[in-house]
Amino acid sequence: MSDDAIPAPSLPLTGGCGCGAVRFEIDEPLVGAAYCHCTRCQHRSGTGFQASARAAPGSVRLTAGEEHLRAWSPGGLDKVFCALCGSAVLARQAGSGEIEIVRMAAIDGDPGIRPSARQFTAYAAPWEPIPDDGLPRHPERLPA
Residue count of the chain, please give it.
144
CB-nearer residue toward Zn ion: 85 or 142: 85
Phi and psi angles of residue 130, each rounded to the nearest 5 degrees, phi first: -70, 125
The DSSP annotation for 30-75 comes to: --EEEEE--HHHHHHHTSS-EEEEEPPTT-EEEEE-GGGEEEE-SS
Query: Looking at beta carbons only, is 14 or 28 nearer to Zn ion?
Result: 14
Q: CB of 64: closest distance to Zn ion in angstroms?
A: 10
In this complex, which beta carbon is closest to Zn ion, that of residue 114 or of residue 138? 138
102-121: which residues touch Zn ion (CB under 5 A)? none
Nearest to 65 by CA among 84, 46, 51, 47: 84
CB of 69 to Zn ion, least distance (A): 9
Residue 54: closest CA among 112, 133, 138, 10: 112
Query: Residue 18 Cβ, how far from Zn ion at the closest point, in Å?
Result: 5
**95 vs 22: CA distance, rounded Å:** 21
Subset of 48-77 contacting Zn ion (CB under 5 A): none
Helices (H) and strands (E) in the chain, counts: 1, 11
Among 33, 34, 51, 82, binds Zn ion (CB under 5 A): 82
Number of residues that bind Zn ion (CB under 5 A): 9
For Zn ion, the closer CB: 59 or 87: 87
Site for Zn ion in 9-38 (CB under 5 A): 17, 19, 21, 36, 38
Binding site residues, Zn ion, CB under 5 A: 17, 19, 21, 36, 38, 41, 82, 84-85
